[in-house]
């Protein structure tokens, strides 16, 4: 897919500078993104609301997360279809998200997806 507004891809690196995960646009309308690791797709992120405050994260292990960011609040919640939860507290400024995530094995993917959603929310929302 061609990136019409030249938004950079979102890339997660480890402490040695090696690429761990890349998030790139899959479709423009509706906005969907794919998460790739070592050239294989490990998940997808989709915007689910016109107000840009609801996202779904579908991982390749068949886990689906729904992440809602209610308007005018600083506490967000996300939940998976397997019963796991993630909580996000905004602050002390809007540019900082504090994340509480349970001990699920897909922490890299969820944290990377939330960082990507934060970038979209902050820069393009």
Residues 93-111, mean pLDDT to the nearest whole number: 81
The pLDDT score that the predictor gives to residue 91 is 84
| pLDDT of residue 24 exceeding 50 | yes
Please give the residue that has the higher pLDDT: either 73 or 112. 112
| pLDDT of residue 5 exceeding 70 | no
Give me the residue label for tokens 């699920």.
Answer: 104
Give me the residue label for tokens 């061609």.
Answer: 2
CB-CB neighbours of 116 under 10 Å: 20
| pLDDT of residue 87 exceeding 70 | yes
CB-CB neighbours of 52 under 10 Å: 15
Which H or E run contains 66?
strand 64-68
The pLDDT score that the predictor gives to residue 125 is 57
Distant-in-sequence, close-in-space partners of 68: CB < 8 Å, separation ≥ 6: 53, 54, 76, 77, 78
The pLDDT score that the predictor gives to residue 59 is 92
The pLDDT score that the predictor gives to residue 56 is 94
The pLDDT score that the predictor gives to residue 3 is 52
| pLDDT of residue 52 exceeding 70 | yes
| pLDDT of residue 1 exceeding 50 | no
């Amino acid at each position: 897919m061609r990136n019409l507004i030249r938004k950079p891809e979102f890339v997660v690196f480890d402490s040695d500078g090696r690429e761990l995960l890349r998030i790139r646009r899959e479709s423009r309308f509706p906005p969907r993104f794919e998460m790739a690791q070592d050239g294989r797709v490990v998940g997808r992120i989709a915007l689910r609301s016109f107000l840009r405050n609801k996202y779904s994260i579908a991982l390749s292990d068949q886990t689906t997360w729904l992440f809602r960011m209610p308007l005018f609040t600083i506490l967000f919640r996300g939940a998976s279809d397997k019963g796991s939860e993630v909580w996000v507290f905004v602050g002390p400024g809007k540019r900082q998200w504090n994340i509480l995530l349970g001990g699920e094995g897909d922490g890299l993917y969820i944290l990377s997806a939330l960082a990507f959603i934060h970038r979209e929310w902050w820069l393009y929302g």
